Structure 1
Amino acid sequence: MEIHSSHDSSNTAAEKYRVLLEITNALVLNLDRDALFKAIASEIRNVTTFDRAGITLYDPVADHFQIYSLETTAPPVSLQRGADIPREGSGMGWTFDHRTPLYRPQLPDDRGFFEDTHFLAEGLQSVLYLPLMTRDRILGTLQVASTIPSRYTDEDIAFLLQVASQLALALDNALCYDTIKSLRDQLHKENVYLQEEIKSTHNFEEIIGESPVIRRVLRSVEQVAPTDSTVLIRGETGTGKELIARAIHDLSQRKSRPLVRVNCAALPAGLVESELFGHEKGAFTGALNKKIGRFELAHQGTIFLDEVGDLPLETQAKLLRVLQEQEFERVGGAQTITVNVRVMAATNRDLKAAVTQQTFRADLFYRLNVFPIQIPPLRERTEDIPILARYFIDKYMKKMNKQFEAIGHSTMERLVQYAWPGNVREFEHVIERAVIHCSGPTLDIGNEALSVTSAAVATPERLMTLEEMERSHILKVLELTKWVVGGPKGAAELLNIHPNTLRSRLPKLGITKPE
């Protein structure tokens, strides 16, 4: 039903002046866009009628307009709030480019713009476009339309131009308010994340070592840090992959923004996408509120995808899109979110082998492998062991208020000869335990602290690591079940784990079914 207001002698200059004052009051009192536009539309109806009134704001990045606010009495509404309208080929675009009003009194006879089909579907006959201009820029347009042909007079256009001028100033303030609020919310989210990061413990605070292999790693860090190139950090568990990622971030131009870490191996398969990209309220059972994903948190900063080889294949496809286009949608959402994020990834897996086994996408591997950095295991840089020992001894002496004058010669030999399957992380824990146990002036570490016998240290042979033992045991069970993973009497049932968990472990352990 069309709403008509009095458009006779009561539309005097005094009435228009009163309406402009009321609009000014509405602009002062309302920062919320819906409340603001409802108040303005109500006042405009006191002077002139309309069946559709809307505000479109220009997005220079996408080069299109988006409907910011809308008041309409025409069912059904074809162009809803939030709809995108191209600048090129639209009446909004013409008004924006020429910075002057555009009046189309006979719309059915004057087709040619993008929105015409939609407006005619709503029964509109005359449309007036007005530029929303501040002193130094144009924000978008105000449109007023009616189901009556030639509805608006020169006096109406002059009056609505004054409304548009006031509205532009208010929108400029409201947009600034929205920007400040968004930045404040983003800062709060970053602070919450950083507080969680501060609570977590890292392997060590600095990169320790002077061996040629570690120097090569540090040179690579210095070379890639100033760029925005994607980095793939490879190395065994405990070698310090996250530490290298932090060093790159701290030396980059993004160092004032957060480094957001995601442990891909620790995320449940059903929640990976929600954690990375966020979700909308009601997107799935248990999604009681909207969640901001890690990529949004990392906007303008860096995201570190630890153990990226553990991502499910379907998530790999979405990650590839983010790497290529820097955009995504939240789970359960339709709005495309654009971010500016540097991506670093780490893995202890052979991703080339995973590509061959079709458990990792080849296109994603090449996208991640722009600048690879290989961190050597501790057994390949034994000359750094005395330096690391001194560093960790000093660290834990301060923590435990102890003092050691020296480290025993036999102890240092053991440390150098040990294979260190857990690398620097294991090394630090061994030193920490030794500082706890020892009380004399010399720090001694026995074979029992290294979980090996003296004979094992003295000979090239060593005990299997937990990963090697796990691989051996799973292979035996698979051979016993003739490589049947799921179902009754399958390997997963004998191992008392979920079949999907077992399937995900096989490529990580380098287990493939024989031909």
Structure 2
Amino acid sequence: MKSLRGRTLMGTRMRHGSPEEKSPRGLSDCRKSVWNPESRYKALLEINNAIINQTSREDLFRCMAREITRYIDYDRFSISIYESDSNSLTVFAMAEGIPIREIDDSRRSMNADTVAKAVITSRKALIISDLAQYAHWNTIQSMIAAGLQSTMAFPLIARGKVVGSLHFSFKSKPSKMEEFAGFLSDLSGQVALAVDNMLSHTKLLELNSNLEQQKHYLMDHVDSQYRPDNFHYSSRVMKEIMAQVDIIADSDAGVLITGETGTGKDYIARYIHHLSSRRDGMFVKVTCPALAESLFESEMFGHAKGAFTGANSKRIGRFEMASGGTVFLDEIGELPLTLQAKLLHVLQDMRFERVGDSRPIAVDFRVIAATNRDLESAIQTKDFRSDLYYRLNTVSFHVPPLRERGEEIEPLIRQLTDSQSENMRRIPPIYSDQAMELMKEHSWPGNVRELKNIVTRLIIVFSGKVVNKKDIEPLLNTKRSESSSTPMTLREVERAHLIKVLSMTKGVVGGKNGAVSILKIPKSTLQYRLYKHGIDPLDFAH
């Protein structure tokens, strides 16, 4: 006795490669015995054993379709998945049998009248022997147009919750519709468990993928130098700022930190996160000047699998990654106006959609922004949105440059020398009085970042030795004593000019706003001269 396995889209069966006339509408003659309890149990067991080891949605669905057609002569078989968070429906996998134009793999709202909605909301089976009686329902007109006349739908209930609905449709009313309904009602329980397990498995795979992405992000961005105990300050103005930070840290208020490059805005942002109740969540830094407009949505919102060419897997965006934690928008003043509008929309609604996905995702993160620009002036010149400014500027701090807190320079040098020497496992150098005075008098255009980098170099070169004034002069490019009539050498002039230009471009070397554009020289030439003078552009970068 042969089972009916091969089927074309319109329902014609093939046996061993040759056409065969279809059996009468209903149960295959060779399987009529399935209606007695013993045979029905055996059939359910066979289907269960066939589907239990499937590892993907598509494989599970195709296996179900193949096994069920041995017993039920359907013309369309489909499974809808119910997502309670968005009150919407998606397909479990592409349907088997007659296609229906209005029912595809996109997400559909549960607001309209549909067979799936009726089954899911009532948690009861729905048997429609004549679809024409429900032609006013959404999708049923399309089912009729496709040549279908009858349908049966069953709720998929697993562990007490409705996970979706099971659908079988026919071109003509089955002769054994009640018997079908009883068998498929029993089968729906098995299908519900299999589907729920597969959805849980899929979510677990996505969670593992998300955790892997977060791990890579953390590995790329972790830096032990940003530990709160590495943030040194001693001036009165900085103590006042940090006292205010302590007060507002545990709130969810948005924070705007202003100040020149290298003053410690990044440290303060991380310090606020560390003190807040969100400390166990992620601190996600977004360097705004590095965001390309074409990639903004994919980077910040993430994308669905297949959203565009090359999107081979789902990607979690920065906003979703930061949910429960903090988003730090560094150099927010450099964000283009078009992207400012998109950012504002997310900050207002705390919701967004991944690229290629219409499901809204709710997020909960705190926003800290930093800039070295005067945003109020940028608002006047129409370079920055006033509504975004007020959204970010609930609490603000201005970090003064190092040259305005001269009393802090010597304590900073000593604290950084001790901590960096310990981290590098080297004996700290000893600064002569003249060397220390020279550093205290320096203007420090790169602020604390420049100071820290110079201290690190001194530890490497002069570990356990005395650092004299002559050792510091090449690093600081200090002018000769006023009493000296000897002019600066050409090398010294060149070095001073390179430092000035890098300070203007904030360490950017290439591009239309970089140092090569100002100096009008090839990038390779500039890189050689920077190497020759021992200048690191990172000392002046964001």
Q: Which of 341, 345, 349 matches 1:317?
A: 341
TM-score (norm 1): 0.79
Change (3 A) 1:48 1:271: closer
Q: In structure 2, the residue corresponding to 1:69 is in which secondary structure?
A: coil
Q: C-alpha separation between the residues in 1 aligned to 2:219 and 2:348? A: 31
Q: Which of 7, 11, 14 matches 1:2?
A: 11
> Could you tell me whether the CA contact under 8 Å between 2:417 and 2:456 is conserved in 1?
yes
TM-score (norm 2): 0.75
Q: In structure 1, the residue corresponding to 2:148 is in which secondary structure?
A: coil
- State yes or no: 1:127 paired with 2:147: no
Q: C-alpha separation between the residues in 2 aligned to 1:254 and 1:90? A: 43
Partner in structure 2 of residue 189 of structure 1: 213
Alignment of 1:343-492 (within 5 A): 343-398=367-422, 399=424, 401-404=426-429, 407-436=431-460, 438=462, 443-445=467-469, 448=473, 449-453=475-479
Q: In structure 1, the residue corresponding to 2:109 is in which secondary structure?
A: strand
Q: C-alpha separation between the residues in 2 aligned to 1:439 and 1:72? A: 74
The Cα of 1:280 is off from its aligned counterpart by: 6.8
The Cα of 1:86 is off from its aligned counterpart by: 1.1
Q: In structure 2, the residue corresponding to 1:30 is in which secondary structure?
A: coil
Provide, for residues 88-114 of structure 1, a one-character-per-residue CA deviation record: whole Å limited to 9, x for no partner.
Answer: 644323322222112222222224544
Change (3 A) 1:200 1:310: farther
- State yes or no: 1:53 paired with 2:77: yes
Q: Which of 32, 38, 42 matches 1:11?
A: 32
Partner in structure 1 of residue 195 of structure 2: 171
The Cα of 1:282 is off from its aligned counterpart by: 8.2
The Cα of 1:202 is off from its aligned counterpart by: 5.6
The Cα of 1:194 is off from its aligned counterpart by: 1.8
- State yes or no: 1:338 paired with 2:361: yes
The Cα of 1:79 is off from its aligned counterpart by: 0.6
Change (3 A) 1:160 1:254: farther
- State yes or no: 1:222 paired with 2:231: no
Q: In structure 1, the residue corresponding to 2:32 is in which secondary structure?
A: coil
Q: C-alpha separation between the residues in 2 aligned to 1:256 and 1:26? A: 44
The Cα of 1:36 is off from its aligned counterpart by: 0.8
- State yes or no: 1:256 paired with 2:277: no
Partner in structure 2 of residue 98 of structure 1: 122
> Could you tell me whether the CA contact under 8 Å between 1:281 and 1:288 is conserved in 2?
yes
Q: C-alpha separation between the residues in 2 aligned to 1:208 and 1:151? A: 84
Q: C-alpha separation between the residues in 2 aligned to 1:125 and 1:336? A: 33
Q: In structure 1, the residue corresponding to 2:407 is in which secondary structure?
A: helix
Change (3 A) 1:445 1:153: farther
Q: In structure 2, the residue corresponding to 1:23 is in which secondary structure?
A: helix
Change (3 A) 1:493 1:382: closer
Alignment coverage as a number of residue pairs: 475
Partner in structure 2 of residue 512 of structure 1: none
Change (3 A) 1:247 1:403: closer
Change (3 A) 1:209 1:127: same
Alignment of 1:197-346 (within 5 A): 197-198=221-222, 206-268=230-292, 270-278=294-302, 287=310, 289=312, 292=315, 293-329=317-353, 333-336=356-359, 338=361, 340=363, 342=365, 343-346=367-370
> Which segment is superposed worse, 166-175 or 310-319?
310-319
Q: C-alpha separation between the residues in 1 aligned to 2:215 and 2:193? A: 33
RMSD: 3.8
The Cα of 1:424 is off from its aligned counterpart by: 0.8
What percent identity do the matched residue pairs reach?
34
Q: C-alpha separation between the residues in 2 aligned to 1:224 and 1:53? A: 58
Q: C-alpha separation between the residues in 1 aligned to 2:373 and 2:419? A: 31
Change (3 A) 1:49 1:220: farther
Highest Rg: 1 or 2? 2
Provide, for residues 322-370 of structure 1, a one-character-per-residue CA deviation record: whole Å limited to 9, x for no partner.
Answer: 3233444555x35456252523322111222222222233333333333
> Which segment is superposed worse, 72-81 or 419-428?
72-81
> Could you tell me whether the CA contact under 8 Å between 2:258 and 2:372 is conserved in 1?
yes
Alignment of 1:22-171 (within 5 A): 22-87=46-111, 89-149=113-173, 153-171=177-195
The Cα of 1:166 is off from its aligned counterpart by: 0.7
The Cα of 1:200 is off from its aligned counterpart by: 8.8
Structure 2 unaligned residues grouped into runs of 5+: 1-9, 13-21, 483-492, 506-511, 524-542
Change (3 A) 1:373 1:355: same
Q: C-alpha separation between the residues in 1 aligned to 2:140 and 2:499? A: 66
Q: C-alpha separation between the residues in 2 aligned to 1:427 and 1:279? A: 41
Change (3 A) 1:122 1:151: farther
Q: C-alpha separation between the residues in 2 aligned to 1:130 and 1:423? A: 69
Q: In structure 1, the residue corresponding to 2:95 is in which secondary structure?
A: strand
